[in-house]
Amino acid sequence: MRILPLAVAATLSLSTFAGQALAYQAGDVYVRGEFEKSDLASAKFSRESGFAIAGGYLITDMLGVELGIGEKLEHDCQLDAGDAGSLDRMPVNLLLQYYPLGGIEDARVQPFVGVGVNYTRFSGVSTAGLSVDNDYGFAGQVGMDLVITDNLSATSFARYTEVDATFESGGETVEKVRLDPLTVGAGITYRF
């Protein structure tokens, strides 16, 4: 007879804990693996897709920081001067994220909005005699987590970043190309 009340109490305790675990809370840490596709503002560069990883920390129930890095992508490019070649682009984004439903129990959908800075590293330029400067710019992101379990979510997002590729030869600017990628992606997020 004593086992039944203990079992009921344990079940209620676990269900209460599980409901609270769904709420995004201050101190949560997460990692995300994602697949991204970018649409560039310039037709001079080929469009490429790739994988990325991001990690974040919730400072409050509704506010967090996220650092994401994409894999190095090789783009074919054609400059106005007639030079053709390729270069590698690797984006890094540091964002302040706002979760309007953070802290709400049983919220299975968690939208988010982020703003921050993008750093793009260019390397592997194959066009003879040219180099490309790395670039900093604004980054903005909107997205949504669909909570699957207490720790696992499916994530989708769209992100806009300001990126210019400045081609130089002998210290002189040859051409500046505005890339401004609009990136859409999806992935799986694991929350600790």
Residue 129's pLDDT is 81
90-116 exposure pattern, b = at least 16 Cβ within 10 A, e = fewer: bbbbebebebebbbeeebeebebebeb
Query: Tokens 């390397």 label which residue?
Result: 123
- pLDDT by residue, tens only, the chain of 192 residues: 444 444 444 444 444 444 445 678 999 999 999 999 999 999 889 999 999 999 999 999 999 999 999 999 999 998 887 778 899 999 999 999 999 998 888 889 999 999 999 999 999 988 778 899 999 999 999 999 999 998 999 999 999 999 999 999 888 998 999 999 999 999 999 998
Delineate the domains of the chain, giving CATH numbers in brackets.
Answer: 3-191 (2.40.160.20)
**Cβ neighbours of residue 53 closer than 8 Å, sequence gap 6 or more:** 31, 32, 33, 34, 68, 69
Show the tokens assigned to 16: 């209460």
Beta bridge partners of 52: 34, 70
Structure tokens at 152: 């696992």
pTM of the model: 0.83
pLDDT at 23: 79
Measured CA to CA, the distance from residue 135 to residue 91 in angstroms comes to 10
